[in-house]
């Protein structure tokens, strides 16, 4: 074991020492079908095989010039925690046999403080924001069912008219969650955005709610849309609950981190009024995949949906009885990397990181705004930049955008991903990795310009 760990450590150190020079994107070859070895190669043999066949084709997604999707990195403390998760291999279902469930409970408490959420919020770690949205919407479904006299967890949805879900600019994973929950993708009605924005027009949302004529429904508010990083007015959305019965779920996968900084916290004012909240850990918290948190005040509904009653399990549902609260049964000590990084860098560390990355995004936005090669499509509100490629006064069509991005991928200086915003083929840059410095963004910007001039 010691030799395996020592060689693995050496490989990790080699990889991390070169992370800044590694191409942000690579063009990986397609693998041939592999044969399961008759006799194993041994752990050191498989490490050699991995290094020879796969390691050269890993992208620089952990590095400082990968701005695709919304991609965080891994802080040193988070990496230490993540390694130890596998060393300790605790099954965090919740029992008194180990401290592991209490570590998760404590970590949720630290995160509540980071985001300024009241103590009434309980929470749990899931694999990503998609699953956190799944849990939040499951709670909304359970709540709405109860309003109509149906226990959906017990009886299913068969006795109900379809439940409606309203959202102005939902993440695609909300549709996936609705499909998994039996509510159906078509349950979602898109409500209008404010003019020229991705934020909900709350007045128009109210019109939809009025038309529900008192039927309970679900509203998904967005705190950080993926194209232009726009924010719904959470306070105004929550205030509508005084007049209409709905469950308010807030998808704050990465935008929730605005709460860490006094400067950006106004973007998520009202977050604490939500019934359920999604926040990713593998984005702005900069812990490894797979980690996100779901928060709610209604642990009772959560236990109705996710209870896993069996003679050999503790039937009592406490906040750390995760087997009764999450989609998984057996689960790793997923909270540990978050505990390490929160303990290592504290509130100030995260405020500094969020503000630095947002300032770098603003810098990039300003370069784009001043360059004739690009059109900035929205103001930079947090850590994301959305822009089109200029073609005279117009914008380059999607085929040209894809060609540009393929060029950047081959160049390796920066990695960006495409989108369509307000009908315009566009490019997004998300600055979410703790490693990014001014020098990195300048290098990325040079690569962006090089690509546009090719």
Ligand X SMILES: *Cc1c(COP(=O)(O)O)cnc(C)c1O
Q: What residues contact residue 146 under an 8 Å CB cut-off, 6+ apart? A: 301
For ligand X, the closer of residues 282 and 298 by Cβ is 282
User: Considering the complex, what minimum distance in angstroms separates the CB of residue 251 from ligand X?
Assistant: 5
User: Considering the complex, what minimum distance in angstroms separates the CB of residue 397 from ligand X?
Assistant: 26
Exposure of 162 in the CB half-sphere (CA atoms within 13 A) = 13
Residue 53 to residue 41: CA distance in whole angstroms: 14
User: Considering the complex, what minimum distance in angstroms separates the CB of residue 307 from ligand X?
Assistant: 24
User: Considering the complex, what minimum distance in angstroms separates the CB of residue 43 from ligand X?
Assistant: 30
User: Considering the complex, what minimum distance in angstroms separates the CB of residue 74 from ligand X?
Assistant: 15
For ligand X, the closer of residues 285 and 317 by Cβ is 285
Q: E strands along 245-396, which residues?
A: 246-251, 276-280, 292-296, 374-376, 384-391, 394-395
Q: Is 66 helix (H, G, I), strand (E, B) or coil?
A: strand
Give the end-to-end CA distance of the chain in Å, rounded to a whole number: 51
Binding site for ligand X (CB under 6 A): 70, 128-130, 171, 173, 224, 226, 251, 253-254, 280, 292
User: Considering the complex, what minimum distance in angstroms separates the CB of residue 150 from ligand X?
Assistant: 28
For ligand X, the closer of residues 69 and 422 by Cβ is 69
For ligand X, the closer of residues 198 and 272 by Cβ is 198
Which residue, 198, 116, 112, 175, is CA-closest to 377?
A: 198
Rounded to whole angstroms, the maximal C-alpha distance in the chain is: 70
Residue 360 to residue 442: CA distance in whole angstroms: 10
Residue 131 to residue 449: CA distance in whole angstroms: 38
For ligand X, the closer of residues 152 and 260 by Cβ is 260
User: Considering the complex, what minimum distance in angstroms separates the CB of residue 381 from ligand X?
Assistant: 14
What is the Cα 94 distance to its own chain's centre?
A: 25
Residue 130 to residue 292: CA distance in whole angstroms: 9
Q: Which residue has the tokens 């128009």?
A: 204
For ligand X, the closer of residues 123 and 451 by Cβ is 123
For ligand X, the closer of residues 128 and 288 by Cβ is 128
Residue 171 to residue 222: CA distance in whole angstroms: 8
Contacts 24+ apart (CB under 8 A), 1-7: 3/44, 4/43, 4/44, 4/47, 7/44, 7/47
| DSSP of 231-273 | B--HHHHHHGGGTS-EEEEEE-TTGGGGGGSTTTGGGGTTGGG
User: Considering the complex, what minimum distance in angstroms separates the CB of residue 242 from ligand X?
Assistant: 27
User: Considering the complex, what minimum distance in angstroms separates the CB of residue 230 from ligand X?
Assistant: 11
């Amino acid at each position: 074991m010691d030799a395996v760990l020592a060689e693995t450590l050496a490989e990790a150190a080699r990889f991390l020492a070169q992370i800044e020079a590694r191409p942000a994107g690579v063009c990986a070859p397609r693998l041939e079908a592999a044969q399961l070895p008759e006799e194993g190669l041994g752990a050191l043999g498989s490490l050699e095989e991995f290094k020879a066949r796969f390691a050269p084709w890993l992208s620089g997604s952990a590095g400082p010039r990968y701005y695709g999707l919304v991609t965080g990195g891994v802080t040193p403390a988070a990496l230490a925690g993540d390694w130890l998760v596998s060393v300790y291999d605790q099954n965090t279902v919740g029992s008194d046999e180990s401290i592991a469930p209490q570590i998760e409970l404590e970590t949720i408490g630290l995160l509540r403080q980071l985001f300024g959420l009241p103590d009434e919020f309980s929470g749990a770690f899931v694999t990503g924001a998609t699953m956190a949205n799944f849990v939040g919407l499951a709670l909304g479904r359970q709540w709405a069912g109860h309003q109509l006299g149906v226990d959906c967890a017990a009886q299913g949805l068969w006795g109900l008219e379809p439940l409606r879900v309203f959202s102005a600019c939902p993440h695609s994973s909300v549709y996936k969650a609705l499909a998994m929950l039996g509510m159906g993708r078509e349950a979602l009605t898109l409500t209008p955005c404010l003019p020229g924005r991705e934020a909900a027009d709350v007045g128009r949302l109210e019109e939809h709610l009025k038309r529900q004529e008192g039927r309970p429904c679900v509203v998904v508010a967005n705190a950080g849309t993926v194209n232009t990083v726009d924010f719904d007015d959470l306070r105004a959305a929550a205030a509508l609950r005084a007049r209409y019965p709905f469950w308010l779920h807030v998808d704050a996968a990465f935008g929730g981190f605005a709460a860490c900084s006094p400067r950006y916290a106004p973007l998520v004012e009202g977050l604490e009024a939500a019934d359920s909240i999604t926040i990713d850990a593998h984005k702005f918290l900069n812990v490894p995949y797979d980690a996100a948190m779901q928060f709610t005040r209604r642990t009772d509904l959560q236990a109705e949906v996710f209870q896993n009653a069996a003679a050999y399990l503790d039937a009592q549902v406490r906040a750390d009885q995760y087997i009764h609260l999450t989609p998984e049964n057996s689960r790793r000590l997923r909270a540990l990397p978050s505990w390490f990084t929160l303990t290592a860098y504290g509130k100030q560390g995260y405020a500094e990181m969020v503000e630095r990355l947002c300032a770098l995004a603003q810098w990039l936005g300003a370069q784009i705004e001043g360059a004739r090669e690009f059109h900035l499509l929205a103001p930079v509100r947090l850590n994301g930049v959305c822009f089109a490629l200029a073609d005279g006064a117009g914008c380059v069509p999607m085929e040209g955008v894809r060609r540009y991005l393929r060029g950047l991928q081959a160049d390796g200086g920066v990695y960006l991903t495409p989108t369509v915003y307000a009908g315009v083929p566009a490019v997004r840059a998300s600055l979410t990795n703790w490693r990014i410095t001014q020098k990195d963004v300048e290098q990325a910007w040079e690569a962006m310009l090089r690509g546009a001039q090719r």
